[in-house]
Amino acid sequence: MAMKKSMKVGQAVSLKQMVKRCSSLGRNGSGEEAAAPVDVPKGHFAVYVGENRTRYIVPISVLSVPEFQWLLRQAEEEYGFHHETGRLTIPCEETVFETLTSMLR
């Protein structure tokens, strides 16, 4: 039972780190807030998916969905938290990502 709880805590910490990393993307080098992209509405974030790195805007609410959390863990394993492009990139085929996100709405 304690091991199961520690695994959940570890997953929560990883998810928080990834979200924190994403939220820090809007900061410039001095730590000040940079202007948010005008095409990303409040309560949403951008992810890049597939080989072509197609950009998708998704609601923050998907962060609590287990299937999306699994995609985030795959991104962490593939790219780590300090991905060179500074973008949240999901290593997934675009059609799979589109199917998943359409079912979450």
pLDDT at 36: 54
Short-list 27, 14, 99, CA closest to 63: 14
CA of residue 27 relative to chain centroid, distance: 17
Contact 15, 69 (CB under 8 A): yes
- The residues pairing with 47 across neighbouring beta strands, listed in sequence order, are 56
pTM of the model: 0.63
Question: Over the stretch 19-78, which tens digit does the pLDDT of each residue have?
Answer: 454 444 444 444 444 555 678 999 999 999 998 999 999 999 999 999 899 999 988 888
Question: Over the stretch 19-29, which tens digit does the pLDDT of each residue have?
Answer: 454 444 444 44
